[in-house]
Amino acid sequence: MQSIIKTLILSITLLTPVVSVAGEIDQATVCKSTSWKAADNVQTCKTGQKIAFLPNSFGNEQLPIMFVGLNCDLRYSVSLTTGGVVCVFNPVEKVVE
């Protein structure tokens, strides 16, 4: 029984830093964006907010996936269509080509 309690306490101790590093998701706010570029969105959106990418033009199916790669925290669900995206905002810091 003591070994189970020790294991439980150790598990809680090890998981605590992970939760604090992950931060909180702001479920009450949605930031609307028409740009797929993370540099543009950093000016108006905060990391951890939901962000909705709703481009001004429709038809370029590459824009939503480019937006996801540059703006979305892929640890969480992403809603992606050919016309837009909704996800948790976490912009990239570096793009390697």
3-state secondary structure of 77: coil
Nearest CA to 94 out of 38, 34, 35 is that of 38
Number of domains composing the chain: 1
Q: How many CA atoms lie within 13 A of 7 on its CB side?
A: 4
Which band of pLDDT confidence, cut at 50, 70 and 90, is reported for residue 57?
confident
Tens digit of each residue's pLDDT (9 = 90 or more) over 76-95: 999 999 889 999 999 999 88
Is pTM beyond 0.85 here? no
Tens digit of each residue's pLDDT (9 = 90 or more) over 9-53: 555 545 444 433 456 899 999 999 999 999 999 999 999 999 999
- Indicate whether 5 pLDDT > 70: no
Residue 43 placed within a domain: yes
Residue 9 placed within a domain: no
Residue 1 placed within a domain: no
32: domain range?
Answer: 24-97
Q: For the beta carbon of residue 42, count every other beta carbon within 10 angstroms.
A: 14
> What pLDDT score was predicted for residue 10?
52
CB distance 31 to 46 below 8 Å: yes
